[in-house]
Structure 1
Amino acid sequence: MRAVVFAYHDVGVNCLKALIAAGVEVGLVITHQDDPDENIWFGSVIALCQERHIPYVTPEASELKKLIPQITALAPDYVFSFYYRYMIPADILVCAKIAALNMHGSLLPKYRGRAPVNWAILHGETQTGATLHIMETKPDAGDIVGQSAVTIGHDENATEVFSKVSQAAVTVLKQVLPELMQGQVPRKRNLLSQGSYFGGRKPSDGQILWTQTAKQIHDLVRAVAPPYPGAFTDWQGRTMIVAKTSLEGPFPAKLDLGTLGIQVVDNQAFGVCGDQRSIAILEWFPSKIH
């Protein structure tokens, strides 16, 4: 069984390892060069390819169609995408003799699109997961091949949940690989009308709006906590990154619940929110960017 794999990030590393362990012949890996302006906290697909002597390339999005002759010559049974960041042209998807499959970091049809783990936490979800699905030109819209769910703890941040999702991705792949190796692709409908779609997030989206509820602000902090850009607020003329919060007390009686924003009582920072509830700020520090 032969595959061409588009891969990046921890999910790319872990799923590529699972394919190799199952005996899939990986003829080519398409990945990304790391962005020097991005905090790289995850595994390297390039390093894995170098270690395993797998051919790889790092084209820009505009260069992907130039790979079609090379991919066609490899005659892959499958084209896989594991957290690859560019949209893969339809002309490449049809190069797969059996199917083109993508691993997405949510329980489709919920949270189609970009940054699914961050969006799920931001919306206070208690569960997410990984979904392997048929690739179509419309993002995350093809039939579902396999899924695995994980819980989201009420204080877990995006990095912690992403680690769970990365393992769920491997679980899904291992569950369906025996059938895929036989040329059989299990599938069920991806009911988009029952789901949701979200775009990418920018660092500026992390601004704390103290008019929101304590739960909403706590979820924002968790969703974008470092190594993501972080939730931020102004305090005494400085922009501060709020990296960790708690909804649990005790909260001091001295807090003025009529004044929204940061209050420091006995050297402990708290945030008073729009629902007149408070959050304890457990970690915060001056921003280097804002």
Structure 2
Amino acid sequence: MKIFFIGTVSFSQKALEKLIFLRAEIVGVATKSRSAFNADHKDLAPLCEINNIPWKYVKDINATHILSWIKSLEPDVIFCFGWSSLIKKELLELTPLGVVGFHPAALPFNRGRHPLIWSLVLGLEKGASTFFFMEEGADDGDILSQKLFKIKYNDDAASLYSKIEKNAMDQIPLFLKQLEDGSYSRIPQDHTKGNVWRKRGLKDGEIDFRMTTNAIYNLVRGLTRPYVGAHVIYKGKEIKIWAVKEEQFPLSNIEPGKVLEVKDFKILVKAWDGAVQILDHNFVELPKEGEYL
């Protein structure tokens, strides 16, 4: 079975490495040398060079000359694992098996943008890695393979990314064999039970200490490295916050946002229902006790 591979993030590289290890027949790869959209961008060209796989840097995956190139390679299926733009109809129908995509959520729930981030920000306790047959809509095609896992309280963006990668790498050998021998199944999504997450904006990353301690904790862990980080505004400047800890605070008559203590480069701040200890941050000038964030 001939595979054409599309990807440009860390997950793409892990998946391509897995396919190479499994001795899958990869006839071509589309990737990007850089990305303005993906904090976890990976250029797949070096991996392709080492393994003698034809590749191209691609700006528009739906461009006529790219479609002609892919068609000339005669793939049976296209794997699109980590790409920031939609695949159009002509490419979706280019191969006998279509295009298999990946979404790190339990489809049909949580389609759309930033699934890993929203899962943590919203405090979800379960996640999933889902491979599906792509259609013209966003993440709405038939499911090929889905595997659930638990999201723990101490998971953050980096650990959840690792869990999703491990899950997916376990799935790839199974559905690869099924695609090769025709034993795969297609499970239609029930979109009446699903939802679509919106694109995250800058305001979504700002910590408002009128939030509960748990909401602040979830926001910070969802946006921490390798992503852009949550932030506070201090003296008109945006300060990144990478890790916090929830703390109990006995007094209910202290306003949210008040700095309660600054010690050992850690900052204790009053929140709506307690306090949060800021453990990892980009403050150059530390706020003083009694100031407000």
Question: What's the TM-score once normalised by structure 2's chain length?
Answer: 0.87
C-alpha distance in 1 between matches for 2:136 and 2:40 = 30
C-alpha distance in 2 between matches for 1:11 and 1:266 = 39
Deviation digits for residues 39-74 of structure 1, max 9, x if unmatched?
A: 855654222112212111122237633312222222
Contact between 2:62 and 2:91, CA under 8 Å: does it hold in 1?
A: no
- Corresponding residue SS for 1:133: strand
Deviation digits for residues 55-105 of structure 1, max 9, x if unmatched?
A: 111222376333122222222111111112221111011111123210111
Question: What's the TM-score once normalised by structure 1's chain length?
Answer: 0.88
Contact between 2:10 and 2:40, CA under 8 Å: does it hold in 1?
A: no
Q: Which residue of 2 aligns with 1:229?
A: 228
Q: Which residue of 2 aligns with 1:24?
A: 24
Q: Which residue of 2 aligns with 1:60?
A: 59
Contact between 1:39 and 1:227, CA under 8 Å: does it hold in 2?
A: no
Contact between 1:34 and 1:40, CA under 8 Å: does it hold in 2?
A: no
Q: Which residue of 1 aligns with 2:288?
A: none
Q: Which amino acid aligns with 1:60?
A: K
Q: Does 1:284 align with 2:286?
A: no
Deviant stretches of 4+, over 4 Å: 37-43
C-alpha distance in 1 between matches for 2:253 and 2:59 = 51
Q: Which residue of 1 aligns with 2:12?
A: 12
- Corresponding residue SS for 1:200: coil
Contact between 2:8 and 2:41, CA under 8 Å: does it hold in 1?
A: no
Deviation at 1:237, TM superposition (A): 5.2
CA gap 1:15/1:257 in 2 versus in 1, 3 angstroms = farther
Deviation at 1:166, TM superposition (A): 1.4
Deviation digits for residues 169-225 of structure 1, max 9, x if unmatched?
A: 211212212111113332212122222211332444211122222111111001111
Q: Does 1:76 align with 2:75?
A: yes
Contact between 2:260 and 2:270, CA under 8 Å: does it hold in 1?
A: no
C-alpha distance in 2 between matches for 1:7 and 1:271 = 41
C-alpha distance in 1 between matches for 2:5 and 2:153 = 35
Q: Which residue of 1 aligns with 2:268?
A: 270
Q: Which residue of 2 aligns with 1:166?
A: 165
Deviation at 1:143, TM superposition (A): 0.8
Q: Which residue of 1 aligns with 2:99?
A: 100
Q: What percentage of residue pairs aligned between the two structures are identical?
A: 24
Structure 2: 5+ residue runs without aligned partners? 285-293
Q: Which moved more, 1:217-226 or 1:258-267?
A: 258-267
C-alpha distance in 2 between matches for 1:126 and 1:24 = 35
C-alpha distance in 2 between matches for 1:188 and 1:123 = 27
CA gap 1:237/1:4 in 2 versus in 1, 3 angstroms = closer
Count matched residues.
282
- Corresponding residue SS for 1:61: coil
C-alpha distance in 2 between matches for 1:285 and 1:125 = 28
